[in-house]
Structure formats: structure tokens, C-alpha cells
Amino acid sequence: MCIKKLIPFLGLTMLVSVPAVADLYFTEQITASQDNTLIDDPEGARSNGAGPYFFVGMTGGNEGGGIRRGLIHFDMEGVIPEQARIENVALHLYASNDPDIAEKVRLYPALQDWGEDASCGNGGKGAAAKPGDATWLHTFYDTDTWGEAGGDRERPASAREDVDMLGAYTWSSNRMKRDVQSWVEQPETNFGWLLIGDERYPRTVVAFASRESMTCGANGMPTGLPVPVLEVSYSLAD
């Protein structure tokens, strides 16, 4: 592409063409730096920081019918330049089960820093929280707390996606682009996303493969399921 410019030369004005400055485009695929499950526990003493799944929705049957919310964070410092203009964002997750009812899973920017420690449960009940784990009441068990039980979040949702069967799912929206742009420019505000599903009916819970799914599963064996990935396309002025 060329841009025409008027250039004065020896008292005359000449019309010449000069190359336009082109933006450079890049795409990065970033694996999650941490994820966890907020388990609806009145004592705020259960978590699933190192489990092979994180859970979203409402459990039922053996899991007790409680609410589960997911947390996920991607560290972009040193990966996406601060001067980048975010062009597209896509969150890729893998659902490992078929919920009884189709689940609309929504993403909200989390408003506080939170932790992932060594608590490990293979199912939706999770396990006893370890120091530093996020829980229903705590950002870091058992010293720092959420302002709102179940996680502080920015509203409205940045994106939503229907999950109705086992398989791969993608969330992508302009709001997610704005979230990531803000986190790239101000890394200290990057607390990731809080994932909330259908909390009205039991047995709507979805078990998403966590970042530990390749290393930790039932009986300590990896599940082999795809880990969470954030795909970020951005441009830089040449």
C-alpha cells in the first residue's frame, strides 16, 4: 500500500507515492499460570488448587449440590509487549464431562489477587484448603478474604459460552480484548477471570481440565486432556 504526498521541489510541487508504515502482527498462545475452584463452603476451608480439573456450576448427588466457581489466570508479562494493540483474544478450555443441563458459562474479570496451592481433589468436593489457596471466603487461605463471598468480580460478564457436552470450547469477545489490553498496560490489575455457570439447578457442573491435567489425575496419573490456553493476537507499529 502506498500513500501519495505533495513534495516541494525546485519551486514546483510534485505528487509522489511513498510506502505506508505497516503494522506487525503476532499471535501468542499462553498456558494458564494458575487456576482453582471456589467451593461453596460456609467455613471457606475447601479448595482444589492442584487438582486435575476446576469446576463451574452446581454439583449434585455425591457432591452435595453446592455451587462451584472457577478462577483462571494467565501471566502476560514478558510475553505481550506493553505497547501492543490487542486485536483478538480467545480462551480455550476443555470440558471433561456432559452436564445434565446445558450450562451457560460466563467470564468476569476478578477484582482481587488470589492463590493456588497444593490442595488436590479429583472431584467437585475438592480437598482441605492449603495455606495460600483461594476458597469461597478467602483470596489466600486463611488470612486474606474476598469482599464478596464467592469472589469479587467486575460486571457485566466479559463473555459467555454454552457448554452442553464433553469437548473443546472457546470464549472470545470485544470485552475480553479490553480486559487483556488493560492487563497488558497495567499488569498489576491482572487477576484473571472468574467463571460462573448455572447456579440454579443441581448437576449442571462442568469439570474443565486444569493446567495440572497433564501431570495430575486420578491415582496421580495425568488425564491427558488439553490444558487451558489463552490465544492473543496483537499488532505493533513498525
- The mean-pLDDT minimum among 8-22, 55-69, 124-138, 158-172 falls in 8-22
Tell me how far apart the alpha carbons of residues 103 and 168 are, in angstroms, rounded to a whole number: 14
Helix (H) or strand (E) holding 4: strand 2-9
**C-beta separation of 68 from 135 below 8 A:** no
- The mean-pLDDT minimum among 48-62, 133-147, 210-224 falls in 210-224
The reported pLDDT for the residue numbered 222 is 64
The reported pLDDT for the residue numbered 178 is 98
Higher-confidence residue: 213 or 16?
213
Higher-confidence residue: 212 or 13?
212
Q: Position of cell 469477545?
A: 173
93 has a pLDDT exceeding 50: yes
Total-model pTM: 0.88
The reported pLDDT for the residue numbered 215 is 66
Q: What is the mean pLDDT of residues 77-105?
A: 94
pLDDT classification of 22: cutoffs 50, 70, 90: low
- The mean-pLDDT minimum among 19-23, 167-171, 190-194 falls in 19-23
DSSP alpha helix (H) spans, the chain: 174-185
122 has a pLDDT exceeding 80: no
The reported pLDDT for the residue numbered 3 is 45
DSSP 64-128: TT-EEEEEEE---TTTS-TT-EEEEEEEEEEE-S--SS-EEEEEEEB-S-----S---SSTT-EE
The reported pLDDT for the residue numbered 18 is 45
pLDDT classification of 1: cutoffs 50, 70, 90: very low
